[in-house]
């Protein structure tokens, strides 16, 4: 069974937990996810099954959409509610929604982030959270990420008794963005400590949350021998690339890793999906220096 499963990952489990459960349901070890979701974050987690594991990176490169909450008034070690409170300020009055909109808009475009110390990014072969747990200092490398949009979806709420304000947001962002860090940086621009207090991933790999199946739904489909209904074709991961159906002689060349002449296609493509017998077989890219098309990713040579 080959294809892409848009899984609805529930809260309370790691992305690796979800993969392990899917391996049991699909009865195969050849399963991988396309980008982690923190245990207390729910939402869309694309899972690649069988030969679809060859296109994991293409799914990871796609944009993502999240909705969530930012609470102003305190900050934590982990930048979410799982960590210890390290800073607290009681707000005497709320920020206006106009001011909040102005701050959120200021993040749109390419920005520089310093990822949270409690993250799985590796520095010198060791994950950042391992440094944090050991109490060791480490230089965290900055990264450039892209924010497509960042907006309020409901009016903010102010808790006068606690001196805290909650912002309800939606953000469309590129690969590598830490929404926890966005929340903290919103607070910094407002001059107060902040934390990401809730998060749901609405879209990833081109899959909307409404397309996702939960583990309980998968178990039911498995019991009914209908698991294949949960899978999208492998080429869904690269559906925005042009498609070309190979002739038999071309397929023989491609199957052996051969090159295709530049005049193979009617148009000049940077990259193209190559199909044979109604299945995606590989992705070829144009080599400008050698003026030919060559393999970028082999997927299915069976």
Would you please indicate which residues are annotated as catalytic (active-site) residues? 38
**Measured distance between the N- and C-terminal CA atoms of the chain, rounded to whole angstroms:** 13
Is residue 81 packed enough to be buried (19+ CB in 10 Å), middle (13-18) or exposed (0-12)? middle
The C-alpha atoms of residue 2 and residue 32 are separated, in whole angstroms, by 12
Is residue 17 packed enough to be buried (19+ CB in 10 Å), middle (13-18) or exposed (0-12)? middle
Residue 13 in contact with residue 39, Cβ under 8 Å?
yes
Q: Encoding tokens for residue 235?
A: 């080429």
């Amino acid at each position: 069974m080959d294809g892409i499963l848009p899984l609805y990952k529930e809260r309370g489990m790691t992305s690796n937990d979800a993969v392990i459960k899917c391996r049991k349901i699909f009865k195969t070890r050849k399963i991988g996810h396309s980008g982690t979701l923190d245990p207390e974050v729910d939402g869309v987690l694309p899972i690649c099954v069988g030969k679809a594991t060859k296109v994991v990176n293409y799914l990871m490169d796609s944009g993502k959409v999240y909705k969530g909450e930012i609470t102003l008034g305190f900050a934590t070690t982990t930048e979410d509610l799982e960590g210890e409170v390290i800073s607290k300020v009681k707000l005497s009055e709320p920020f206006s929604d106009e001011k909040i909109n102005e701050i959120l808009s200021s993040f749109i475009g390419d920005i520089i982030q310093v990822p949270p110390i409690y993250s799985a990014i590796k520095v010198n072969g060791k994950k950042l959270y391992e440094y944090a747990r050991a109490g060791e200092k480490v230089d965290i490398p900055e990264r450039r990420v892209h924010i497509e949009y960042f907006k309020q979806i409901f009016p903010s709420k102010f808790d006068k008794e606690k001196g805290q304000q909650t912002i309800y947001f939606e953000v469309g962002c590129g690969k590598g963005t830490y929404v926890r860090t966005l929340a903290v940086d919103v607070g910094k621009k407002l001059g107060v400590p902040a934390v990401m207090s809730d998060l749901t991933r609405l879209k990833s790999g081109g899959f909307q949350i409404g397309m996702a199946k939960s583990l309980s739904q998968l178990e039911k489909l498995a019991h009914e021998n209908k698991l294949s209904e949960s899978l999208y074709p492998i080429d869904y991961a690269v559906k925005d690339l042009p498609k070309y159906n190979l002739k038999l002689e071309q397929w023989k060349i491609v199957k052996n890793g051969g090159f295709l002449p530049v005049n193979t296609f009617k148009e000049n493509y940077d990259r193209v999906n190559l199909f044979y017998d109604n299945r995606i077989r590989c992705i070829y890219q144009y080599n400008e220096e050698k003026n030919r098309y060559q393999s970028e990713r082999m997927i299915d040579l069976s």
